[in-house]
Amino acid sequence: MTERGSFACVITCIDGRVQQPISDWLKARLSVDHIDTITEAGPDKVLSSGSKADIDAILRKVLISVNAHHSRAIAVVAHHDCAGNPVSKKEHLRFLEEGVKTIVGWGMPLRIITVYVNEEWAVELIYDSKK
């Protein structure tokens, strides 16, 4: 029998440069063993203004993380130099704020975190519903 450990979920960009920094940061911040990673090009924009089909596809994956791995926290990532959503940091922050509303609308008791990965590939906390 293997130990499953604790999980959190992240909705992040497909950009490989953000994968390790965000995984390490979330494991430390949330004291979890594993991060279920859902990737999407420009996920902040998709969650804030994407099509219903695209948002539903993300939700289906989140539900797997929540139901199978008992994730109780979800993070949404935006980052510098994003090819999928090439906008200013200010616009990324607006998209993150709108994306939180989408996740809240799913009606799950999740801790919601949003972060921005800056030009130094450092993670900046933007919002944490557990404050």
Flag whether pLDDT at 45 surpasses 50.
Answer: yes
Return the pLDDT at 131.
Answer: 72
Q: What is the pTM of this model?
A: 0.94
Q: What DSSP character marks residue 5?
A: -
What's the rounded mean pLDDT across residues 2-29?
93
Please give the CATH superfamily to which domain 7-128 belongs: Carbonic anhydrase (3.40.1050.10)
Return the pLDDT at 3.
Answer: 61
**In angstroms, rounded to a whole number, what is the distance separating the alpha carbons of residues 4 and 88?**
39
Cα–Cα distances in Å, from 22 out to 54, 94, 109?
22, 20, 22
Residue-wise pLDDT for 52-76, tens only, equals 999 999 999 999 999 999 999 999 9
Using pLDDT thresholds of 50, 70 and 90, give the confidence band for residue 1.
very low
What's the rounded mean pLDDT across residues 103-116?
97
CB burial class (10 A; 0-12, 13-18, 19+) of residue 117? buried
